[in-house]
Amino acid sequence: MNKKNIIIILIFIACFIIYSFITPTPLLLLTDSIDSPTKVTAVLDTEINEDNNLVYCCTFQQAWNKLSSESGETIEISDAPDYIHRLNVHKNLPQMISDDACVVMAGLSDYNTPNKIYEQLNEKFYGKLSLSEIKPDIDIQPGLLYTFSFVFKQLLFNKIFNEKNLNFKNNNVNKISNVKAFGIDSKLELAQKNELWDQIELFHDTQPVTIFVIKIKTQSKTDELIISNFQPEKTLEKSFEKSIIT
């Protein structure tokens, strides 16, 4: 297959991932233009920086695959970031998220492209997100190849965990931070505790150093929520593989 250098605008508007523990949660809009310690990555084999949180958005790969399919050629960009090569390597990767949780569009833009995107977002997420969230600011000039990916995934529990506020002390800067958390209140009746404990499945526990990998069960039949405290590997992909092996 021939390769072609093209001018391309990548529109990666947002990756919305919500885990509703207590009540409906305000969404965090993650984009390259927003200075945040939480970063969105397009590929799993992204190196982990201890100063940032990483969120892998699999729909970016879907959008790239769609663009490659519609162009009929392998897409290359001059002076492209390294992840572009990795997107091309994985261009045959199957879809990793259900259609009802995402909007993925790609192709040659025209004057009506933003409206087409808004229509898809409204069709999928009307009533689930606010108007401002399903109509983000999109500036796509006509005549350019573009990709757009948007994810909204909400995982709900059958029984709601108790909300907690925990104080963590950072000895490096001598600062105490208040962190929102969830768990099981010790004051609950035994039957209520058991209902919540039934939503937690322990996968691993090692002594003398306690390392856990737990799955928190949600109402979803196709998604898994896994939490662990093990030391991350160099990349997200290797860390995920470690959690499965562990």
Per the DSSP assignment, residues forming a β-bridge with 76 are 5
- Residues 128 and 218 occupy one common structural domain: no
Range of the domain at 211: 162-245
Domain count, the chain: 2
- Residues 187 and 210 occupy one common structural domain: yes
- Residues 129 and 11 occupy one common structural domain: yes
Task: For residues 246 and 239, give the distance between their C-alpha atoms in angstroms, rounded to a whole number.
Answer: 10
- Residues 71 and 40 occupy one common structural domain: yes
- Residues 19 and 139 occupy one common structural domain: yes
- Residues 15 and 123 occupy one common structural domain: yes
What is the DSSP-derived secondary structure letter of residue 93?
A: P
CA 173 vs CA 36, 168, 177, 178: distances in Å = 20, 12, 11, 15
- Residues 128 and 197 occupy one common structural domain: no
With cut-offs at 50, 70 and 90, classify the pLDDT of residue 3.
very low
Q: How many CB atoms lie within 10 A of CB 200?
A: 14
Token pair in block for residue 14: 């947002």
Task: For residues 46 and 56, give the distance between their C-alpha atoms in angstroms, rounded to a whole number.
Answer: 9
pLDDT single digits (tens) 197-243: 999 888 777 766 677 788 888 888 888 888 887 778 888 888 877 76
- Residues 150 and 167 occupy one common structural domain: no
pTM here is 0.69
- Residues 107 and 187 occupy one common structural domain: no
- Residues 152 and 190 occupy one common structural domain: no
- Residues 31 and 101 occupy one common structural domain: yes
Q: Are 145 and 6 in contact (CB under 8 A)?
A: yes
- Residues 202 and 109 occupy one common structural domain: no
